Structure 1
Amino acid sequence: MKKIFFTIFIATTIVLNAKNIKDIKFEGLIHISPSTAMEIMGIYPGSEIDIEKIDKAIKKFYEQGYFKDIWVTEEDGVLTFHFVEKPLISKVDIIGYLESKKEELPNIIGIKKGDIYDEEKIEEAKQKIIQKAKEEGYYDTIVEVDTTTLKNGSVEVDFVVNKGENIIIRKLDICGIHAFDKSDIEDVVANKERDFLGWMWGFDSGKVNMDQLEFDSARIKDLYMRKGYLDAKVSNPFLRVDFNTYNAKLLYHVEEGKPYVVEDVKIYLTEPVIDIKKLKEDLKLRKGKVFNIEKLRKDMQKIKEKIADLGYAFVRVAPNFKKNEKEHTAIVEYTVIPGKKVYIRDVIISGNQRTLDRVIRREVLLAPGDLYNLTDLKDSKNALKRTGFFEDVTIEERRVSENQIDLLVKVKEMPTGNIMLGGGYGSYEGVILNASISDKNIFGSGIDASFSIDYSSKSLRFNLGVFNPRIFDSDYSLGVNLYNTTYESYDYTQKRRGGSIGVGKQLMRYLRGSVSYQYEQSELSDVTFDSIYFPEGKFIKSSITPSLSWDNTDDYYVPRHGFVASTSLEYAGIGGDEEYIKSYTKFAYFYGLEDLIDYDLILRYKARLGYISDQGYLPVNEKFYMGGIRSVRGYSSGSLSPKDSEGRLIGGKETFSNSIEASIPLMESARMRLAFFLDYGMIGEDSFNEIKRSGAGAAIEWLSPMGPIQLIFATPLDDKPGDRTSNFEFSMGTKF
């Protein structure tokens, strides 16, 4: 606030004797430098003192938002601008509503630590909190602000919030509906009538979502359009609220009309860039079918993708339909404007603090000079996410001319390495110590390396592995693994040492082939019983394993679309003692429902099939065992298998297990999910169904700063006497 005496003093001075400015000084400036202040006010030494210019300068300073008070004094031609700056905010906190979302608070209210305290912004923040509460169905929200001035002049700001009350929809009336049930309407709208058990999870609470209310009419109209009702009209929602009880009635009026049938589908190309017959091949909306707006949208996208894959990055598809109201038929028309062919000028990579540029660039299927291709662009993003190096990947298109674009590849890296030191105690092995170090992206090179050691009084295990998925950035891969283990059981002592080497090649975009060779020397000694399954002595394993794998998923740890499949055939008997043929096949399918139901629900189906043919000598450690994280949860790992006459596990030759899972968000800010599962498996020596077990439960899936972690809580559904069950399991570093 300007001092009154300034105006009187300056005005009198100008009237009596106009002066020139000898010098300009600033007192109290912190956030603006004197040179910047001089530029802002536009007044310089040597010019005549002008009260209007000084007044404008003060206004300009106030516009910067830094100052609480400004005044000017003049003495012997020296103008001094005095400033009192607004205090800084040293802390922002919220008490009550939104207290559990403090990490999101700066984005919600627009104020954060280090900002300048401004009454207008504080008031805006209060209104944003109230609006946020309204969006979540809370009304009559009260927000109070407590400020505390510290010794250093900064201010602590506390927002104390009483979130008010929920408005509950007790009655939803939709007048004029005949083609649908009320439940069909409630499936698509955000605001629903409260269920009898509305307080229970899984039932509709009836809370008003005010931010979604205006869109519900369009959702109802869209439902009718999906069934061909092109003439359907839906009124705006009418919400009647009793603010004494916070109960409400919601009303819509609907005029349905009749459904339309597609009379014909026509496509017009402004430029003949493709045969129209090819564009019509995969269309879902066809002649004789009931009109469906959802199919129309998908067909538009298919048309766009086919044109964009020819290099037309800026293709436009304009839909139209001509209605015959008497016959209730419609002609669907698509006008396709391809534009010009577009080429890639440059690929610009950012966000990678650790991963080398070349590791990212080799996964991008488009390079400078290439013709634009939309499918290649999508596959590039998915390929980068499948590496497991990045939490998020975006590829933006920046137009630089009418026929050139830059691709901006932005990645957000995630932890890929783990260092673990641990221990435990077992009744048989005593104190157990373990340590491991692993990194899927060592030094940002894309190479996967790991080393682990486990030690106890009864066992010692070493393992070293290195895998390079792209040797010299080529389509070839190379992996090497070495191991050495010693284990003293109750009835025998087993030593195993060996290694493997494998070479692979990318055969197609999603298909990879590989072949590996394994050599192992095992020794079984101190056997305290006679059994054909546990022969004493030294044995050599020499085997070769060709394999094929397919992966077109959109993420490494939490895929939402696509499937993974692999099959291998191991032949043992290349000069060694062990002789068998083992085949093993895995399959996993992922389907995210967010686009359909506007909720991040992921459905998963996983299956595993194994078969072994004994060609001479098949040791028990090479056979199949069921139970645990990767087969049937609820049973101890590897505890389900055929047994010998003494009750010892001898493994099976045939096995099949599968799982159905549903994964939902638990804490999105912490990247934590909750999954429910049902497992079923079979295993046997001579047939699959000798042993059949199932289990069910839930798992917490957490992409933690240390890497992916799973906490699995399971229960067996049909366990038998003698089964070893397990209600809790833990894993780290593996896919979900």
Structure 2
Amino acid sequence: SERSILKLRLHPSLVKETLYEDIDRIRNLYIGKGFFDVEVEEPEIQLIDGKKYHITIKIKEGDRYKVDSVKIQNNDLYTNKELLAIGRRKEIKPGEYYDQEKVDFIKKNILDKYNDLGYIFANVEVNKLVNKDKKTVDIIFDINKGNIYYVDKINITGNYESRDSTIRRELRLAPGDLFRKEDLLRSQARLYRLGYYDMIGFDPNVKSDNEMDLTTQVNERFTGQMSIGAGYSQLTGLSFFASIKKGNFLGTGDTLGLSLSVGSKYRNNSINYLHKWAFHKPIDLGISVYDSYVDYTSFVATKLGFSPTFSYEFKEYWRTGVSFTAEKGEYKDILDTASVYIKQQAGKYTLYSVGWFINRNTINNPLLPTDGSDLTLSLKAGTGTRDFYKAVLTATKIIPDKIFYTDFVFSVKGTLGFVEKISKTIPLDELFFVGGDFTIRGFEWGRAGPVDADGNPAGAKREIILNYQLAHPISERFLWGYVFLDQGKGFDSGNPFSNIYNSVGAGLKIITPFAPIELYYGKVLNPPAGVSGSRIGFILGTFF
């Protein structure tokens, strides 16, 4: 069967133009499969009961033609093999039946390769020489590469908040550069990764035989969130809160966050700032200061600290960075009902930690990724009244359908992590709590790992997580649906692949002006005792 041959219509009125459009689709379908002599006769139309039309379309398929030869004309920049050998499923071989999809794919491959050399207006004409006696066809790709083009001026439009420099520094094209499609796509991906724009386009304008101006068009997203109010809960008691988070602060690309929360049992105050492109280099400098007090009824936890960060893009797609954290806190007023691990954390503590990461990210759009990969290795160690060393490796691959060329996107993510003490006690925040919206969906937070005697998450020294997801657009830039399989567990020792948990489910990803939102239903196939077998989840952000 073929996709979109006939448009689906429920009880349509008979329109002559529409009927003949459908007949042309039928004819083109047959020709595209090598039936060059196909005859589609005039439709026979009968009116039944004065209400319904019965339409008969007679088709004489004729013989199906095979490919005799494939040639390329006027190609002086590549070998024929580079242009024709593009994978077994799309390669045209003499002796096989003619297939228009393969022809179109090779034509696109030729155009892409010439575009990448600056021949942005290259054209490929496909000539088919049909031999009716032999029932064969010779396919000739005739290339007209046109002129090579260089970039002259670059204009920016649509940026009512972003400064021009915030956009220009992400572009991989500059005045005087060869106009390459690859650089254009990479520029678009880098701008999408900022998270400040929901639409990015480029409009080239030819100004001479080998120069063109480029207009970069952006449609900016809402990048600020502010909330203020009061609330009451059993955990926090009466509390008052105010918070503001502003991405693209003052149009610079920086991020500012400020949160103030005060209550009888609860306090959570923080301020953080991330400065992008410090010293006009691809350097990010960040600082975070935080102060919290939470009365969990069975214990009280306090925390005060600060953390500066530094990261540097040392190569296209690659970034590395370091962080330092100084923190002091206390676990106090611990009751007998508190978990064993909280009791082990009792008392005041100080902690000084250093972290390092390296990342390679080629994902084309962080909000709606359809291609690319993301690989991160992070190492961390800390000392003080508690100590630890820790490593986490995360790998993500986004795979578009390049077999049947549908709109399906397959995503896979794997995470491995371990943490150990040096000689004292591992801080609670450095343990792995597996289960929940960002690890194994269908579980409540932390319940896919060790629990105490009361069933409360205790944290794990090891984690293994595997996520698989198949997504398809419902409305391409607004709404996607997906199904998923998650596997993994948190554990302290032993075989990482034994007694692994599995969950399946389905969900929706909604792109709002403020942030992406995911709603999903997850079902755990082999839940541990005392754990619910299913859960409806809500994610403010995106899983992949």
TM-score with structure 1 setting the length: 0.65
Alignment pair present for 1:431 and 2:241: no
1:660 is matched with which residue?
A: 469
Measured against aligned partners, the alpha-carbon deviations of 1:86-127 in whole angstroms (never above 9, x if no partner) come to xxxxxxxxxxxxxxxxxxxxxxxxxxxxxxxxxxxxxxxxxx
C-alpha deviation, 1:556, in angstroms: 3.4
Which residue number corresponds to residue 623 of structure 1?
Answer: 431
State how far apart, in whole Å, the 2-side matches of 1:310 and 1:727 are. 52
Which of residues 485, 488, 498 is equivalent to 1:682? 488
Residues 1:703 and 2:512 are matched in the alignment: yes
Work out whether 1:397 is the aligned partner of 2:204.
yes
Aligned partner of 1:343 among 147, 150, 173: 150
Aligned-pair CA distance for 1:398 = 0.8
Supply the distance in 1 between the matched residues of 2:203 and 2:255 (Cα, whole angstroms): 29
User: 2:471 corresponds to which letter in structure 1?
Assistant: A
In the alignment, does 2:107 pair up with 1:291? no
Of 237, 240, 249, the residue aligned with 2:54 is 249
The structure 1 residue matched to 2:346, chosen from 536, 540, 544, is 536
1:547 to 357, 380, 403: 357
Could you say which residue in structure 2 is the equivalent of 1:262? 67
Could you tell me how far apart the structure 1 residues matched to 2:229 and 2:542 are? 19
Contact 1:520 1:540 in 2 (8 A): yes
Question: Residue deviations 1:209-248, cap 9 Å, x none?
Answer: 9676544344434544554x14152527737474866433
Q: 2:479 aligns with which of 673, 685, 688?
A: 673
**Offset of 1:406 from its aligned partner?**
0.9
Paired amino acid for 2:57: Y
Displacement of 1:700 in angstroms is: 5.5
Q: Which amino acid aligns with 2:347?
A: G
* Offset, 1:286: 3.3
Per-residue deviation, 1:298? 1.7
Letter in 1 for 2:501: K
- Aligned residues of 2:35 and 2:65 also touching (Cα < 8 A): yes
Instruction: Kindly indicate whether the alpha-carbon contact (under 8 Å) linking 2:67 and 2:137 is maintained by their aligned counterparts in 1.
Output: yes
2:252 aligned partner, one-letter code: S
Pairing 1:235–2:40 present: yes
Q: Check whether the contact 2:448–2:501 (CA below 8 A) recurs between aligned residues.
A: no
Query: Greater CA deviation, 247-256 or 378-387?
Result: 247-256
**Aligned with residue 512 of structure 1, among 302, 319, 324:** 319
**Paired AA for residue 682 in structure 1:** G
Native 8 Å contact 2:349 2:384 kept in 1: no
* Distance in 2 (alpha carbons) for counterparts of 1:430 and 1:250: 72
Instruction: Look up the SS of the partner of 1:401 in the other structure.
Output: coil
SS in 2 for 1:386: helix
* 206-215 vs 302-311, greater mean Cα deviation: 206-215
Using the TM superposition, name which of 351-360 and 381-390 deviates more.
Answer: 381-390
Root-mean-square deviation (Å)? 3.3
Q: Distance in 2 between matches of 1:269 and 1:574?
A: 68
CA distance in 2, matches of 1:290, 1:539: 74
Structure 2 SS opposite 1:621: helix
Is the alpha carbon distance of 1:696 and 1:276 closer, same or farther for their aligned partners in structure 2, counting shifts above 3 Å?
A: closer
CA distance in 2, matches of 1:643, 1:554: 39
Contact 1:188-1:219 within 8 A present in 2 as well = no
1:305 aligns with 2:96: no
Distance 1:403 1:245, change over 3 A: same
- Cα gap change, 1:610/1:273 in structure 2, threshold over 3 Å: closer, same or farther? closer
* Pairwise CA distance, 1:734: 5.2
Q: Using a 3 Å threshold, how does the CA distance of structure 1 residues 685 and 245 change in structure 2: closer, same or farther?
A: farther
Distance 1:282 1:515 in 2: 41
Distance 1:322 1:423 in 2: 77
**Stretch of structure 1 that moved more, 495-504 or 292-301:** 495-504
Shift of 1:347: 0.8
8 A Cα contact 2:446 2:457, kept in partner: no
Amino acid at match of 1:555: N
Structure 1 distance, partners of 2:417, 2:80, is 49
- Asked if 1:607 corresponds to 2:408, the answer is no
Contact 2:309/2:323, CA 8 A, preserved across alignment: yes
Q: 1:359 aligns with which of 154, 163, 166?
A: 166
Measure the CA separation in 2 of the matches of 1:232 and 1:473.
64
Could you tell me how far 1:552 is from its partner in structure 2?
3.1
Number of the residue aligned with 1:641: 449
Contact persistence 1:558–1:735 (CA under 8 A)? no
Change (3 A) 1:238 1:691: same
Unaligned runs of 5+ residues in structure 1 are 1-183, 193-203
**Aligned counterpart, 2:250:** 443
Q: Cα distance, 1:307 vs. partner?
A: 1.6
Deviation by residue 1:2-38 (Cα, 9 ceiling, x = unmatched): xxxxxxxxxxxxxxxxxxxxxxxxxxxxxxxxxxxxx
Q: State how 1:181-330 maps to structure 2 within 5 Å.
A: 184=1, 187-191=3-7, 205=10, 207=12, 213-225=19-31, 227=33, 229-233=34-38, 235=40, 238=43, 240=45, 242=47, 246-269=51-74, 272-282=76-86, 284-288=90-94, 289-330=96-137
2:58 partner SS: strand
Specify the alignment match of 1:565 in structure 2.
374
Check conservation: 2:227, 2:242, Cα contact below 8 A: yes
SS at match of 1:333: strand
1:247 and 1:334, CA in 2 relative to 1: closer, same or farther beyond 3 A?
A: same
One of 388, 412, 427 as aligned partner of 1:579: 388
CA distance in 2, matches of 1:339, 1:526: 78
CA distance in structure 1 between the aligned counterparts of 2:226 and 2:205, rounded to whole angstroms: 40
Cα distance 1:528–1:320, how it changes in 2: closer, same or farther (>3 A)?
Answer: same
Distance 1:735 1:419, change over 3 A: farther
Seen in structure 2, the aligned counterparts of structure 1 residues 535 and 554 have a Cα distance that, compared at 3 Å, is closer
Cα 1:233–1:471 change in 2 (3 A) is farther
> Which structure has the highest helix share of the two?
1
By how many angstroms is 1:604 displaced? 4.7
Deviation at 1:433, TM superposition (A): 3.8
Instruction: Determine if the alignment matches structure 1 residue 467 to structure 2 residue 277.
Output: no
Contiguous gaps of at least 5 residues in structure 2: none
How many angstroms does 1:643 deviate by? Answer: 1.3
CA shift digits 1:374-424 (9 cap, x unpaired): 211222223222222112111011111221111111111121111123554
Is residue 419 of structure 1 aligned with residue 226 of structure 2? yes
- Would the alpha carbon gap of residues 206 and 648 (structure 1) be closer, same or farther in structure 2, given more than 3 Å must change? same
- CA distance in 2 between partners of 1:404 and 1:351 (Å): 24
Deviation digits for residues 423-450 of structure 1, max 9, x if unmatched? 5433333334433211221111111221
Where relative contact order (Cα < 8 A, 6+ residues apart) is larger, the structure is 2
2-side partners of 1:606 and 1:432: how far apart?
A: 41
Q: Given the superposition, is the C-alpha separation of residues 615 and 293 from structure 1 closer, same or farther in structure 2, using an over 3 Å criterion?
A: same
* Matched residue type, 1:550: R
Instruction: Report the CA distance shift for 1:399/1:455 in structure 2 as closer, same or farther (over 3 A).
Output: same
Aligned to 1:491: 298
Write out aligned runs for 1:121-200 (5 A). Answer: 184=1, 187-191=3-7
CA distance in structure 2 between the partners assigned to 1:347 and 1:465 by the alignment? 34
User: 1:337 offset after TM fit, Å?
Assistant: 1.5
Deviations along 1:572-608, whole A, 9 cap, x unmatched? Answer: 1466731222214142526389x956xxx55352424
Aligned mates of 1:663, 1:420 — CA distance in 2: 34
> 2:198·2:219 contact (CA, 8 Å) conserved in 1?
yes
Per mean C-alpha deviation after superposition, the further-off stretch among 502-511 and 723-732 is: 723-732
Counterparts in 2 of 1:470 and 1:726: CA distance versus 1, 3 Å: farther
Shift of 1:612: 0.8
Identity across the alignment (%): 23
- How far apart, in 2, do the equivalents of 1:206 and 1:232 lie? 33
